[in-house]
């Protein structure tokens, strides 16, 4: 009796996952274009090729969809950035460089989504806000650790790791937030190279 129940349960969970993904992708597409408030639930349903009623079986309300969209985006960051660090070996400089490089690349791939998180975060409930703050910290934690390691090892000056990571984050996000300006004279690769040079210069041990 347990087996079929679980099988059914699995199938159900799989459908739930699929449906939620459909909705999130549709909502993300729409919000990137015109923001949360201009997106109607009917439009989400159309884009997701399902009925409005069905969305409400998988999400409590419209704000719940927003929260899920933003969390979804930030989870992508959290999954991809640390993973890149694992592949970067032990050298703090390399880990930091790789972290920044990957971060910028992910931001570039999800530029509209990145801007979206800045645009709509304040619309969330306090709980939602807490969740996304936690996710951001999780995402950057491995880089933070790399900076601490580098400081300890003496390859970096005695800088505030928290602040270095903050700068690195703003710098990566900056590529999306100020893309209208930056893209006029820089490619992503140029941006990464030059910013990285300045970033490393800013924390190299005093000569």
Partner DNA sequence: AATGAATGAGACTTCATTCAT
Partner DNA sequence: CATGAATGAAGTCTCATTCAT
Nearer to DNA, 12 or 94 (CB): 12
What minimum distance in Å lies between the beta carbon of 10 and DNA? Answer: 13
Backbone angles phi, psi at 186, to 5 degrees: -140, 145
Q: What is the Cα–Cα distance from 168 to 171, expressed in whole angstroms?
A: 5
What minimum distance in Å lies between the beta carbon of 112 and DNA? Answer: 19
Q: What is the Cα–Cα distance from 123 to 125, expressed in whole angstroms?
A: 7
Nearer to DNA, 40 or 187 (CB): 40
What minimum distance in Å lies between the beta carbon of 71 and a copy of itself? Answer: 17
Please, what is the end-to-end C-alpha distance for the chain in angstroms?
Answer: 72
DSSP tag of 121: G
Report if residue 12 touches a copy of itself, rule: CB under 8 A: no
Q: 90-149: which residues touch a copy of itself (CB under 8 A)?
A: 115, 118-120, 122-123, 133, 137
| Residue entry with tokens 């800045």 | 118
Q: 150-189: which residues touch a copy of itself (CB under 8 A)?
A: 157, 159-160, 162-164, 166-167, 169-171, 173-174, 177-178, 180-182, 185-186
Q: What is the Cα–Cα distance from 175 to 154, expressed in whole angstroms?
A: 30
Instruction: List contacts with DNA (CB under 7 A).
Output: 12, 15, 19, 38-42, 50-54, 56-57, 61-63
Nearer to a copy of itself, 17 or 194 (CB): 194
Distances (CA, A) of 84 to 30, 103, 115, 176: 29, 9, 22, 20
Backbone angles phi, psi at 25, to 5 degrees: -65, -40
Residues 6+ apart with CB under 8 A from 112: 32, 176
Element (H, E) at 20: helix 2-34
Total residues binding a copy of itself (CB under 8 A): 42
What minimum distance in Å lies between the beta carbon of 116 and a copy of itself? Answer: 9
Backbone angles phi, psi at 18, to 5 degrees: -65, -45
What minimum distance in Å lies between the beta carbon of 36 and DNA? Answer: 8
What minimum distance in Å lies between the beta carbon of 131 and DNA? Answer: 19
Q: Which residues bind a copy of itself (CB under 8 A)?
A: 35-38, 115, 118-120, 122-123, 133, 137, 157, 159-160, 162-164, 166-167, 169-171, 173-174, 177-178, 180-182, 185-186, 191, 194-195, 198-199, 201-204, 207
């Amino acid at each position: 009796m347990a087996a079929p129940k679980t099988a059914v349960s699995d199938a159900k969970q799989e459908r739930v996952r699929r449906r939620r993904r459909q909705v999130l992708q549709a909502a993300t597409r729409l919000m990137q274009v015109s923001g949360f408030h201009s997106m109607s639930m009917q439009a989400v349903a159309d884009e997701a090729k399902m009925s409005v009623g069905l969305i409400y079986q998988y999400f409590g309300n419209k704000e719940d969809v927003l929260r899920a969209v933003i969390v979804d985006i930030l989870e992508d960051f959290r999954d991809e950035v640390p993973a890149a660090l694992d592949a970067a070996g032990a050298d703090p400089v390399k880990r930091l460089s790789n972290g920044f490089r990957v971060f910028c690349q992910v931001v570039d791939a999800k530029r509209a989504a990145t801007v979206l998180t800045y645009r709509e975060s304040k619309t969330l409930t306090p709980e939602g806000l807490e969740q996304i703050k936690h996710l951001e910290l999780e995402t950057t934690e491995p880089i933070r650790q790399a900076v601490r390691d580098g400081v300890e090892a003496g390859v970096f000056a005695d800088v505030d790791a928290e602040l270095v990571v903050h700068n690195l984050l703003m710098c990566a996000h900056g590529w999306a937030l100020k893309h209208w300006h930056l893209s006029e004279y820089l490619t992503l690769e140029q941006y990464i190279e030059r910013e990285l040079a300045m970033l490393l210069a800013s924390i190299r041990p005093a000569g």
